[in-house]
Amino acid sequence: MRRLALLSMLALAAACGKSAPDAPDAPPAAVDAAPAVDTVKPPPPSPLTESAAALSAPLDKPEAVALALDAVEKLTAWADANPDHPDAAPARLAAARGGLLAAVAGAPEERSARLAKVRAQADALVAAGTKSDAVDPARVAAAAAAIGALDPATAADGAAIASAFAVAAGDDEAAAAARTVWLDAAQTAIAGLRAAPGAEPTEPFAGGVARLLCGGCAEAAKLAPTAVSGFLLEADHGAGLVCDSAKAGAASATTNGARAALLAACDGIAPKDAEPSAVAGENALIVALLGRAAALAALPDGEGPLAPLLAARREALTATLAAPYPLPVPAVIDTLPEGDRSPEDRTPAAIAGLPPGGVVLGDRALGVFVIGPDAVRGTLRPTVAIADGALVSRSAAATPPGDGLVFTFDALAEAEVAPETGGIEPIVTAGQAIATASDAIAPPDEAFRPVELVVDALAPTSAVVRTLDSLRAAGFSAFRFTRGATAGDALPFIVRAAPEVIPAEVAPGFAQPIIVNLRGDGVDVWAPADPADPAPSGDARAALPEGADTGYRGKKLVRLRVATGDADARGLTADTVAKVLDAVAYWRKASGNGALIHVAADDDAEAADVLRIADAFQRTAGAALADLGALWPGATCPPPPTGGPPSVCPAGVAVAFSAITVPSSRGITPKPAEREPPKLAEPPPSPEFCNSRDIKAVMAREKHAFRFCYETELRTNPTLEGKVPVVFTIALDGSVKDVKLGAVTLPNDRVKSCIVRAVSKLRFAKPDGGRCLVRWPFLFQPK
């Protein structure tokens, strides 16, 4: 018809162009008409078939991604040029689907821009009501939004994050696209959490990773451990993660213990049957991240272009999740209340004044002892792992039965110290049980066994000292202390006694180095005594520090005292600590004492103040120590963050809770005496001059040597047992003299002579005021 119409038009035009004839002509001869020419071009063929191969091929190589992107561009351009073609809508659907898959598999730095185009395409298709059995543009848009939810440049929305996680956990191709990106984000974050110490510092919840969890999780990750749980329960900070029951109880939860209990009840945060400490501080974010990662890694890879990439990322994440993960916060910790504490409050208060930074430790200590507010409790660090695709608490399953109560402070003060070990038996037993439980979670390191102490802000020194001695007797050899009030790892300290081998860079140069002793009415800083040969050189013109009172023995300055006031009643202020450091600096300059001091304290002094002074000294003593690992096993000094301030690494060694003999203040005067006091006759050896704490510590430290004497002979006489009482004198220089045996009941001369030799080699702290007479009752029995 079209052709006929064209011919009619052409014929009419030809007739109108001629004049009228004078007479009728004969009929013209018949001729064939010329064929009509069609001037309208047909549309180009649809590229759907051509692009099918590129959009169905595995997107596991850059070349395949490039082909897919090229196909997407061609489909989009053709559909724009041919909007009325029947294949235009299918082409747009294929372009949206292919764009999503290529954006996921392509370069991460280009992903955001590509996803924006995909989402715009998908939204337009949804608005037009366009969909097919193969492609639902609403799911494509949802997947693009789920991936975009991880972008830190977008506004945090807890509800959107919860919806995004549901999309990523789906079972269609769009879900696989979202899950591929979420798996990669989780893998990066968890690898950062497990990063080896000394590597470039990482912020595992930076870069949008916190968007895997909740709207406010990025901000929560920057807070101190004591503030995280309260922040998550406030307003909508935890939206997308915190369950409704926890939100409902938030108003009445006024302590971190109560808040931890609320968070632990949320299925999306804590593993089933986990202890409250598993959600303490930033632990809540980490267990939630691990749980969501485990849930994603347990989903099938499915089929389609992303299947190889999805499988590779799932396998990488599964491998990263395989090992148990000890969480950073060892216990529920709260802030110290302004007024009196409730008698029912068993949550330790964080110690203020221990700033972040400094050394980075290797593996976290699995054994944890909480000291305060009313007792010593042993437990395990909260540790989680993946079992059968789900997150579980390994520590809750391995913790010995009971609530971990070991000893109340009142009972601890009255407890007898075992002569052979120097420890208190219930704490020694608890320490051994915790060590055994730790070994069930992770193989022990034969070189050293660390333990972490969570010390309450108001705990007395006596409780910490007795716990330290007992844990050493239980086999622990490295001691770390929780910061609590600031984010970061624990602080390692050498405790009770200086190491047997002192690195030359911190060697004090004195048999009695500088001693800082905390008292109820102030802090005494004692001059070093008994210089080595050759003696260190000091500056006799060093100026006395301000803020310290002088103390003379005769005409010699031997002590500086920093007074404390009401402001120091709940912990030394920064100003008081600075004055103590000034006094230490004076003695170092005046005497040449190296970068090693002892920090001791009276029994009723606050243990937190020992840690404040010890930490402050190690941070400010001078040039950073060369080999931290020789002093604190597993410790390194990491490089500073890119563009950040320098790392603060220890420059000295403070022996915390030292058992060293503190000089007596008897006869000390604020001004030098007019003349030297007369020398008194030396009194006979007596127990009154003994430092019982030091003696018990030394004898406990050498117990294996004494046991060796006995067990060597026990091999040939399995029934050998009995008492070997020993009497000896500790001379004024700390050496052992006049070793004698008492009423021995063990019938073996070799054991007796071996014990005498072992005791004769011992070295103790110098007695105060005279020679010390010691009676030590060895009792040997087969184990």
pLDDT tens-digit map of 46-95: 888 888 888 899 998 999 999 999 999 999 999 999 999 999 999 999 99
**476, part of any domain:** yes
Q: How far is CA 631 from CA 134, 450, 655, in A?
A: 65, 13, 11
Q: How far is CA 554 from CA 116, 551, 672, in A?
A: 83, 9, 6
**172, part of any domain:** no
Among 128, 154, 180, give the residue marking a domain's end: 154
Q: What is the CATH number of the domain that holds 719?
A: 3.30.2420.10
| Domain of residue 769, residue span | 692-780
If DSSP codes are grouped into helix, strand and coil, which group holds residue 164?
Answer: helix
With CA atoms as reference, report the closest residue to 396 among 270, 231, 224, 537.
270
CB 736 within 8 A of CB 764: yes
Among 461, 490, 519, give the residue marking a domain's end: 490
Interval 7-25 mean pLDDT: 38
Indicate if the pLDDT at residue 35 is higher than 80: no
What are the contacts of 499-505 at 24+ separation with CB within 8 A?
499/631, 502/596, 503/625, 503/626, 503/627, 503/630, 503/631, 505/594, 505/595, 505/625, 505/626
Q: What are phi and psi of 459, to 5 degrees?
A: -65, 140
pTM value is: 0.76
Among 154, 178, 195, give the residue marking a domain's end: 154
**551, part of any domain:** yes
CA distance linking residue 700 with residue 423, whole number of Å: 8
| Strands of 383-387's sheet in order across | 325-326, 383-387, 390-393
CA distance linking residue 330 with residue 202, whole number of Å: 21
Same domain, 528 and 462: no
One-letter amino acid at 33 equals A
**For 455-520, what is the HEC assignment?**
ECCCCEHHHHHHHHHHHHHCCCCEEEECCECCCCCCEEECECCCCCCCCHHHCCCEEECEEEEECC
CB 434 within 8 A of CB 367: yes
CA distance linking residue 55 with residue 711, whole number of Å: 77
Q: What are phi and psi of 310, to 5 degrees?
A: -60, -40
**399, part of any domain:** yes
**713, part of any domain:** yes
For position 653, what pLDDT does the model report? 92
Same domain, 566 and 418: no
Same domain, 438 and 553: no
Same domain, 611 and 730: no
Interval 658-685 mean pLDDT: 82
For position 10, what pLDDT does the model report? 24
Q: What is the DSSP letter of 325?
A: E
pLDDT tens-digit map of 250-272: 888 888 888 888 888 888 788 87
If DSSP codes are grouped into helix, strand and coil, which group holds residue 370?
Answer: strand
Same domain, 522 and 486: no
Same domain, 514 and 654: yes
Domain count, the chain: 4
Same domain, 453 and 557: no
CA distance linking residue 288 with residue 269, whole number of Å: 4
**116, part of any domain:** yes
Q: Which secondary structure element, helix H or strand E, spans residue 562, and what is its range?
A: strand 556-563
Same domain, 560 and 630: yes
CB 382 within 8 A of CB 395: yes
Give the tokens for residue 700.
Answer: 């406990």
Average pLDDT of the chain is: 84
Same domain, 478 and 506: no
Same domain, 597 and 485: no
Interval 319-323 mean pLDDT: 86
For position 282, what pLDDT does the model report? 84
**200, part of any domain:** no
Same domain, 542 and 659: yes
pLDDT category of residue 203 using cuts at 50, 70 and 90? low
Query: By CB neighbour count within 10 A (0-12 exposed, 13-18 middle, 19+ buried), where does 343 fall?
Result: exposed
**615, part of any domain:** yes
Q: What is the DSSP letter of 225?
A: T
Least confident of 359-363, 427-431, 561-565, 646-650: 646-650
Least confident of 73-82, 182-191, 536-545: 182-191
Same domain, 743 and 656: no
